[in-house]
Structure 1
Amino acid sequence: MDRRLPIVIAVAGLHLLGLWALQAGLLRRAVELVVPVSVLSEVIQPPQPQVTPTPPPPQARPAAAPKAAPSPPPLAQPAPQPVAVATPTPAPLAPTGTTEPQPPAPPVTTVAAAEPAAPPAPPAPAAPARVELPSSSADYLNNPPPPYPPLSKRLGEQGKVVVRAFIEANGTATRAEIRTSSGYERLDQAALQTVLKWRYVPGKRAGAAEAMWFNVPIHFILE
């Protein structure tokens, strides 16, 4: 009994404390604090993801019916013409007419358009005139050979000189110049003087004598 007494007293005190708490409103506040939290937990829910509805596929528009071509207006019917009916027999008093033959129509003359005459063919180009160069090798000219300079013989100078001479229509050389040198002045001058003294067959163009330039070769060779 001594051990149970404090327990009974403690239980009785707890009951008394609970009754006092109910009267004082402490338990009601605890209930008010606990209940809203549970209610909020039920009411507040996480937002659900919004699902965008897919639009319906576009419907193909029906093809427009082709317009009917307007019908042409009805053609006007020609008015009926009176038809002449031939009488099987002419009336006894009806005059008989005579028909004369019509003159034939004049023939239709067609004038053909004159075709343009073809242009005359251009004249053929004239053949170039034949040119004959002068010559110094004719036998009847009797041109002497060029003199060989004595000093060139002793020194052994030899070579070829080409002299460019202007030959007149009468066969004389009026101008001359060295075109190709032999390499020795004495030989070149001897050739130049010889060409100016020679006689020539003049050059010709279309058979007529004509003055022109002519290259005269002179050879100096030691024998």
Structure 2
Amino acid sequence: MTFYAPPSVQRRLLIVAAVLSFHVAGLWALQSGLLRRAVERVIPVHIMAELIEAPQPEIAPPPPAPPTEKARPVSTAPKPPKPAAAPAPQPLALASPTPAPDAPTGVTEPDPAPPALLAAVSEPAPAPPSPPSPPATPAPPRLELPSSSADYLSNPRPPYPPLSKRLGEQGKVVVRVFIEANGTASKADVRSSSGYDRLDQTALQTVLKWRYVPGKRNGVAEAMWFNVPISFVLD
């Protein structure tokens, strides 16, 4: 049994079939790249180039110009005042070179100087005061050294050591003695040796037993050191 459709239905079926075929063909063309080739053929090359051209970089605007300084107002200096008009010269009285015949004649004398000025001129100026004289230098103190040779002291001569005499030892010893204000010797030492110890010790013991005239400063007895020379000479 055959089915026969009317013409209007057939036309609709054909249209639907054509639309479906067109969609199927479009999908297949997208997958296979035919549509892109067709578009490249239809659209001109320069239009595609314009579409895919890279964007141009933006150009920064130029910086604003620095503000110019405002013109300073020019200060106008005040005008100098006009000089006042000089007064008209007045007539001066000039002496006539030829005096009148009836004019009185005389001799002019200078004014006398004041008496205070005359007294100042006549009196001589006072002399400047003389500088004070320097103070007198005090006299040095009068010093008297001790003595051991006074006759009233009765100091014995130092004994000569027998062994030194037998051996022929002789020489000079200088003993430094500290003499008190009462004339006694409190300490002594050998200042210059004779070269022999026996002679030095004999001289040292002798001067410690002697009595002395004490030293004086400005007439006052004072303790002080004194050098006593002792010579050992064989006869």
Q: TM-score, normalised by structure 1?
A: 0.50
Do residues 212 (structure 1) and 220 (structure 2) align?
Answer: no
Of 197-206 and 133-142, the range deviating more from structure 2? 197-206
Output the amino acid matched with 1:107. Answer: P
C-alpha distance after superposition, 1:164-220 (max 9, x if no partner): 111122111112111111111011011011111111111122222222221101111
Match of 2:115 in 1: 107
Consecutive unaligned residues of structure 2, counting only runs of 5 or more, are 1-88, 104-111
Please report the RMSD computed on the Cα atoms of aligned residues, expressed in angstroms. Answer: 2.9
C-alpha distance after superposition, 1:6-40 (max 9, x if no partner): xxxxxxxxxxxxxxxxxxxxxxxxxxxxxxxxxxx
Deviation above 6 Å: which 4+ runs of structure 1?
Answer: none
| Distance in structure 2 (CA, Å) of the matches to 1:215 and 1:138 | 16
Would the alpha carbon gap of residues 79 and 151 (structure 1) be closer, same or farther in structure 2, given more than 3 Å must change? same
Match of 1:180 in 2: 192
| Distance in structure 2 (CA, Å) of the matches to 1:148 and 1:190 | 8
| Distance in structure 2 (CA, Å) of the matches to 1:194 and 1:145 | 8
| Distance in structure 1 (CA, Å) of the matches to 2:173 and 2:201 | 10
| Distance in structure 2 (CA, Å) of the matches to 1:188 and 1:147 | 12
Offset, 1:105: 9.0
Match of 2:93 in 1: 80
Q: Secondary structure of 1:188's partner?
A: helix
Output the amino acid matched with 1:216. Answer: V
Q: Secondary structure of 2:115's partner?
A: coil
Offset, 1:112: 7.6
Consecutive unaligned residues of structure 1, counting only runs of 5 or more, are 1-75, 89-103
Offset, 1:81: 5.2
Match of 1:142 in 2: 154
Q: TM-score, normalised by structure 2?
A: 0.48
Identity of aligned residues (%): 71
Do residues 163 (structure 1) and 184 (structure 2) align?
Answer: no
| Distance in structure 2 (CA, Å) of the matches to 1:81 and 1:197 | 123
| Distance in structure 2 (CA, Å) of the matches to 1:179 and 1:186 | 15
Match of 2:83 in 1: none
Match of 1:60 in 2: none
Do residues 153 (structure 1) and 165 (structure 2) align?
Answer: yes
| Distance in structure 2 (CA, Å) of the matches to 1:119 and 1:79 | 64
